[in-house]
Structure 1
Amino acid sequence: MSYKKSTNIFLLVLVIALAVFPLIYASDAEFGGADGEAEEVITNINPDYKPWFTSIWEPPSGEIESLLFALQGALGAGFICYYFGYMHGKKKAERDK
C-alpha cells in the first residue's frame, strides 16, 4: 500500500473516530446548539434583557431548522470546493499551454 493511500485511510478513520467518540462517551448528553446556551446565560446574567429584534420567519419545527442549517453548510462547502477546483483547473490549463 502506498504512503498516500495509507495516510488517507488513517485520516478517514480519525475523522470517523472524532465523530463517533462523543456520541459513545456522552451517550446521555443533550446535544443542543450554541444559540440556546447563549440565551440561557444572558437570561441568568440579566433577567430583564430584551432582544434587539425578532426573526422574520420561524421554522415550523426543529427538524426543518436542522435541514436548513445542513443545506446552508452543504451549499457553502459546494461553492468553496467548486471555486478551488476551478482555480486548480485554470492554473493547470495555463501551465499546460
Structure 2
Amino acid sequence: MSKSKNKLNNWLLVFTVVILAMTPLVILKGAEFGGSDDKAEGVIKEINPQYKPWFNSLFELPSSEVESLLFATQAGLGAGFVGYVIGLYKGRSEKQQHQNDNTD
C-alpha cells in the first residue's frame, strides 16, 4: 500500500471517529449524558429502600464535568499504555524476524 493511500485511510478513520463521537451530541441536543453509577444506585434503592452503601466516596468532585474529564483521562492513559505494549511487542517480533532473515 502506498504511503499516500495509507495517510488517506488514517484521515478517514479519524474523521469517522469524530463523526461517531459527535452524532449523539447533535441528535440529542440538551440531553444529559450521565454515568451509570447514580442510575444503578437509584434502581437499587427503588428495589430495596433500606439499602445502605458499603462505603462512601473519599471525596466528592465539584462537578460532573470534572468527573468526565478524569474518566476520559483514565481511558486515554489506559489506551496509550495498551497501544505502547502492543507496539513494543510488535517491534520486538519484527526485529527478531529481521535478525532471523539475516542469519539465513
* Structure 1 and Structure 2 fold alike (TM over 0.5): yes
- Aligned-residue Cα RMSD (Å) equals 2.0
User: How far apart, in 1, do the equivalents of 2:95 and 2:74 lie?
Assistant: 31
- Relative contact order, higher structure (CA 8 A, sep 6+): 2
The Cα of 1:80 is off from its aligned counterpart by 0.4
- 2:77 is the counterpart of 1:90: no
Q: TM-score, normalised by structure 1?
A: 0.80
Q: Give the share of equivalent positions with the same residue, in percent.
A: 45
Tell me what 1:52 maps to. 54
Q: TM-score, normalised by structure 2?
A: 0.75
Aligned residues: 95
The Cα of 1:52 is off from its aligned counterpart by 1.5
User: How far apart, in 2, do the equivalents of 1:67 and 1:7 lie?
Assistant: 29
Which residue of the other structure, out of 42, 45, 52, is the alignment partner of 2:44? 42
Could you tell me which runs of 5 or more consecutive residues in structure 1 were left unpaired when the two chains were aligned.
none
User: How far apart, in 1, do the equivalents of 2:26 and 2:83 lie?
Assistant: 31
Larger radius of gyration: 2
Which residue of the other structure, out of 22, 28, 36, is the alignment partner of 1:20? 22
